[in-house]
Amino acid sequence: MNHSINEAAKNAANKIKLLGLDVDGVLSDGKIVFSAQGDELKAFCTLDGHGIKLLQQNGIEVAIITGRNSPLVARRARDLGIKHLVQGREDKKIALDDIRQELGLDWEQCAYMGDDLPDLSAIKHCGLGITVPNAHSFVKEHADMCTQTSGGHGAVREACDFILSAQGLLDDIHQSFLKK
């Protein structure tokens, strides 16, 4: 799906005040690597991190919701200033709903980005459901948009830019960096 011409997705993105993110397959490439000592390793894309910071700087909350528990994810959330981190929860919709209610938002003001079946209920309930090219095919069928970039390689940044563009903010952000 070419998200740049999807008017329904643009209209939905214009209302977003909360972006929920899965980790494996979205913030990372989905691979879990273990060191010889048994430590879990993940790689995160710096482009994604900057996109998250741009959302936050423009009043859009970000949440990480993952079915696994990982100190690496807690560290990444802390480094990015993400206040809403939920680990070890398989039902992403219930976790996102708790955050949505805490923030006083309607479902139309929420976006969720995931890649597999545990993400599907959150994707379907949000105003904007986003997935990645490396997602399970059934999830892709039910998402409002699919990024062109794979998870762990800038897909979150692409989604952040899409939301900021739909809200009329991205051009000003780009211009502010040209002036520095």
Q: Using one digit for the tens of pLDDT, what is the confidence trace for 156-166? A: 999 999 999 99
67: which DSSP letter? S
% of the chain surpassing 90 pLDDT:
90
136: which DSSP letter? -
pLDDT at residue number 180:
82
Phi-psi region of 158 (alpha: psi -120 to 50; beta: other; left: phi over 0): alpha
Percent helix, strand, coil in the chain (nearest 5)?
50, 15, 35
Ordered by where they begin, the domains of the chain are: 3-178 (3.40.50.1000)
Cα–Cα distance, 167 to 59 (Å, whole number) = 11
> Taking the model in full, what pTM does it have?
0.94
- Axis crossing angle, helix 71-80 with helix 46-57, rounded to the nearest 10: 50
Q: Over 60: is that where the pLDDT of 135 sits?
A: yes
